[in-house]
Amino acid sequence: MTDFNVTELNADIDFSRLAYWDVVIIGAGPAGLAAGLTTAHRGLTTLVVEAKDRPGGQPQFLYADKRIVDVPGFPDGITGEELSARVFRQAENALVQFRFNEELVTVEDTDQVEKEDPLKRVRTNTGAYLCRKVIIACGLLHFPRKLAVLDQLESKKIHYKNPKIGDYEGSRVMVVGGGDSALDAAMMVLARHGQVEMVVREDIPIGKADTRAHVEAAGGSIHTSTEVVAAAFTDDAIMVTLSSGTTIKCDLAIVQIGFLSAKDTFQRLGVRLNQDGSIAIDPYYETSRRSIFAVGDVHGDIKLIAVAWAEGIQAAIYAFKEITSPYWLNEKRLRDSKVALIGEKIAQAAQRTPAPRR
């Protein structure tokens, strides 16, 4: 039995004239899109703010051409680009509104109250939005780490995400990095008759061992315990020198060496953080600041699309219930605290009780 009645938003709403939004979601990746779908389907005006120029998050920007095989409902797999496009279309049909190329700066408290909710003000690098609830779903990782020795070439042949298939089919490609993303990139090139030279700083690539075996079996070369120390253009090709003294000539390079942390942004929010810099949440995905929720990679250890969807949906339902039943979450928290306290007392009593003599 469902816990809500689906309420369609009025297609005639002039979103540009709203005094405030019910929900503002930061991030248009899997968690943010799922949260937006859920709030909009419950009749809440919903705005999604995305720092990049398109929706999709990591499936779109890291795995656009790769077939993702662990998403339920797609037995033959689905590319990150197609999956992102489907969910985005679903969100647009639900009248979720989007703002692209806007990066979160901070979330401010205000003195303005609407229907017992103190409004928040979400500030971005280009605008500000009043709202009742905020859901942070921008991921722990914003931007790929750059490799200065290659970046100084200022060339479109240096890629920090997997390029389109036509860009590397049959090409000589250097892949920098030893994680799963780097190994996946190497396999995609090899599957399209390209040549691959992997440059890995570690003694052993940290990605999946079976993927490494597939790379080597397909003819890819892996240079371990080495780094790129110099790079220059020669006859429209990139000539790279490694710390081992080896020289590599390639048509393009794919760099997969991790991402810059969003910890600075999280600190500006004034929410409690975990030791690893991720956002601390309670069992209802709410942060230490009331009315601000956090889902997906911003806090989670299990970084899967299905998990991001589930968390986005749950946080959206909790936000919806806070809006429609203001005392619901407080009462539920109080009840849960009492249950936890009883459990602690039972455990303490058990520790004090002496063991029976034999």
What pLDDT is attached to residue 56?
Answer: 86
Same domain, yes or no: 42 and 77:
yes
For the chain, give the mean pLDDT. Answer: 87
What pLDDT is attached to residue 235?
Answer: 83
Query: What percent of the chain clears pLDDT 90, i.e. is strictly above it?
Result: 58
Query: What percent of the chain clears pLDDT 70, i.e. is strictly above it?
Result: 86
- Give yes or no for residue 8 having a pLDDT over 80: no
Choose the final residue of a domain: 196, 226, 256. Answer: 256
- Please report, for residues 129, 140, 149, 203, 311, the alpha-carbon distance to residue 315 in angstroms, rounded to integers and kept in the order given: 20, 17, 42, 41, 6
Choose the final residue of a domain: 256, 275, 301. Answer: 256
Higher pLDDT, 63 or 219: 219
Q: Read off the pLDDT band of 43 (50, 70, 90).
A: very high
**Residue 345 belongs to some domain of the structure:** no
- Please report, for residues 31, 146, 149, the alpha-carbon distance to residue 154 in angstroms, rounded to integers and kept in the order given: 33, 12, 10
Same domain, yes or no: 47 and 182:
no
**Residue 158 belongs to some domain of the structure:** yes
Same domain, yes or no: 72 and 197:
no
What does the pLDDT look like over 260-318, one tens digit per residue? 667 778 888 999 998 878 899 999 999 999 999 999 988 867 778 899 999 999 999 99
Same domain, yes or no: 276 and 234:
no
**Residue 3 belongs to some domain of the structure:** no
Q: Residue 159 maps to which CATH number?
A: 3.50.50.60
State which residues form the domain around 108.
Answer: 15-143+260-336
**Residue 2 belongs to some domain of the structure:** no
- Number of domains forming the structure of the chain: 2
- Give yes or no for residue 2 having a pLDDT over 50: no
Cα(224)–Cα(77) distance, integer angstroms: 31
What pLDDT is attached to residue 277?
Answer: 80
What pLDDT is attached to residue 347?
Answer: 65
Same domain, yes or no: 215 and 332:
no
What is this structure's pTM?
0.68
**Residue 7 belongs to some domain of the structure:** no
What does the pLDDT look like over 211-247, one tens digit per residue? 999 999 999 999 999 999 999 998 889 999 999 999 9
Choose the final residue of a domain: 256, 284, 317. Answer: 256
What does the pLDDT look like over 119-159, one tens digit per residue? 999 999 999 999 999 999 987 655 678 898 998 998 989 99
Same domain, yes or no: 275 and 164:
no
Cα(161)–Cα(64) distance, integer angstroms: 9
Same domain, yes or no: 202 and 164:
yes
**Residue 10 belongs to some domain of the structure:** no
Q: State the DSSP string of 295-344.
A: -GGGT-S---HHHHHHHHHHHHHHHHHHHHSTTHHHHHHHHHHHHHHHHH
Same domain, yes or no: 280 and 137:
yes
- Give yes or no for residue 1 having a pLDDT over 50: no
Token reading at 176: 């920098």
Same domain, yes or no: 134 and 152:
no
Same domain, yes or no: 221 and 150:
yes
- Give yes or no for residue 344 having a pLDDT over 70: no
Same domain, yes or no: 156 and 195:
yes
- Give yes or no for residue 353 having a pLDDT over 80: no
Same domain, yes or no: 34 and 138:
yes
**Residue 179 belongs to some domain of the structure:** yes
Q: Read off the pLDDT band of 337 (50, 70, 90).
A: low
What does the pLDDT look like over 164-199, one tens digit per residue? 767 777 899 999 999 998 999 999 999 989 999 999
Higher pLDDT, 340 or 244: 244
**Residue 83 belongs to some domain of the structure:** yes
